[in-house]
Structure formats: C-alpha cells, structure tokens
C-alpha cells in the first residue's frame, strides 16, 4: 500500500500558505494562481487552520462579506485534520470520506511538509488498481 510520502515524492512537497490576518482576497488570488482549492493557514510556522474555496463560498459570498476586508482567520477552518508521511492512502481516503474533507495537510512533527488532496488519493488508488489488473492479466495469460 502506498504511503503519503510516496505521493509527495511524485507530486511535489510545495506548501501554499497564507497568514490568518491576510485578506481573504489574497488567499483566493493565490489559490487561483497556484490552481489549488485550499491553503494552509500559518502563523509563523505554526499550523492554525486551513482555508478552502468552500470556506470562501459559504462564509464570504453567501454572507455578503467583502473578500478585501475580511481576514482569512475569520473564515478558516481552525480544527485541521492532518496526516503523517507514513499514513497510507487507504487511511487518508477513510479520513476524507468520514470527515467530508478534500485536503489533508501532511505534518512531520510540528512542520507542514505537504498537502494532499482527494484527487491525489483517487489517482493513487486508480494507479494501484491498474497495476493489480495488469499483474492478474499477465498471470492468467502465462
């Protein structure tokens, strides 16, 4: 079973972050520029939350707030579910499904070393299934 550290090796370990006092507008702009759906919220190097497009839609747009005047800290999700690099893809899929999560920050101790998305996990599962099918087909035909 593939581990999170393997996913980060193939996709990259770039962590896109925003400060809690930054305007929501800056966070949304960064998400668009980086083509990601969420940013970790760091106060210095401390993980204090996560902010997603979902947070923006529900807590800014639907409440008729200004993205330029609202700080990220007001709309972020402060309780962040994280995983370690040694977590398996299956464990992460279970966390995402049970918690209705789309992004999991990866922590090594207190340090955020990456972020994996539900899309990364689905891609890993499909790849593993293809590999199993190829092995079974090869076994059957030999």
- At 37-50, the pLDDT tens digits run 999 999 999 999 99
Closest residue by Cα to residue 80 from 41, 114, 118, 120: 41
83-103 pLDDT, tens digit per residue, is: 999 999 999 999 999 999 999
Sole residue written with tokens 């059957």? 140
Indicate the number of domains in the chain: 1
pLDDT in the model for residue 76: 97
DSSP 77: B
User: Global pTM?
Assistant: 0.87
Q: How far apart are CA 41 and CA 21, in angstroms?
A: 10
What mean pLDDT do residues 49-76 have? Answer: 94
- Helix (H) / strand (E) element for 115: namely strand 111-117
CATH code where residue 21 lies? 3.10.580.10
Structural domain including 32 reads 4-141
């Amino acid at each position: 079973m593939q581990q999170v550290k393997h996913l980060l090796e193939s996709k990259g370990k770039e962590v896109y972050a925003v400060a809690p006092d930054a305007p929501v507008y800056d966070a949304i702009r960064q998400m668009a520029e980086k083509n990601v759906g969420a940013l970790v919220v760091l106060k210095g190097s401390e993980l204090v939350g996560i902010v997603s497009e979902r947070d923006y839609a529900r807590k800014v747009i639907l409440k008729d707030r200004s993205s330029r005047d609202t700080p990220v800290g007001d709309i972020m999700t402060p309780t962040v579910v994280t995983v370690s690099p040694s977590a398996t893809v299956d464990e992460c899929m279970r966390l995402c499904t049970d918690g209705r999560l789309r992004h999991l920050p990866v922590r090594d101790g207190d340090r955020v070393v990456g972020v994996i998305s539900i899309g990364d996990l689905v891609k890993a599962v499909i790849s593993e299934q293809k590999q199993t099918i190829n092995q079974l087909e090869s076994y059957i035909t030999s």
